[in-house]
Amino acid sequence: MPAPARAHYRAPWWTPGPHLQTIVPARLLPLPEVPYERERWDTPDGDFIDVDFALPAPAAAAAPVLVLFHGLEGDSGAHYARLVMQSSRQRGWRGLVVHFRGCSGEPNRLPRAYHSGDSAEIDWVLARVAARWPQARRFAVGVSLGGNALAKWAGERGLGATALVQACVTISAPFDLAAGGAALGRGFNRVYTYHFLRTLRRKALAMVARFPGLADPARIAASRTLFDFDDAFTAPVHGFAGAHDYWRRASARPWLAAVQVPTLALCAANDPFVPVDSLPTAAELSRAITLEVPPAGGHVGFFYAAGRRDPWYLRDRVGAFLEPYAQ
Please check whether residue 314 is in contact with residue 80, taking contact to mean a CB–CB distance below 8 angstroms: yes
CB atoms within 10 A of CB 284: 16
Please check whether residue 61 is in contact with residue 136, taking contact to mean a CB–CB distance below 8 angstroms: yes
Cite the beta strand spans of the chain per DSSP E.
Answer: 20-21, 36-42, 48-54, 65-69, 94-98, 138-143, 167-171, 263-266, 289-292, 303-304
Which residue numbers are catalytic?
144, 271, 299
The strand pairing partners of 169, in sequence order, are 141, 264
User: Exposed, middle or buried by CB within 10 Å (0-12, 13-18, 19+), for 306?
Assistant: exposed
- Measured in degrees and rounded to the nearest 5, phi and psi for residue 100 equal -65, 160
Task: Assign residue 297 a region (left: φ > 0; alpha: ψ between -120 and 50; beta: otherwise).
Answer: left
From residue 184, alpha-carbon distances to 52, 145, 269 in Å are: 29, 13, 16
Greatest Cα pair distance, the chain, in angstroms, is 55
Which segments of 133-188 does DSSP mark as H helices, in order?
A: 145-157, 177-184
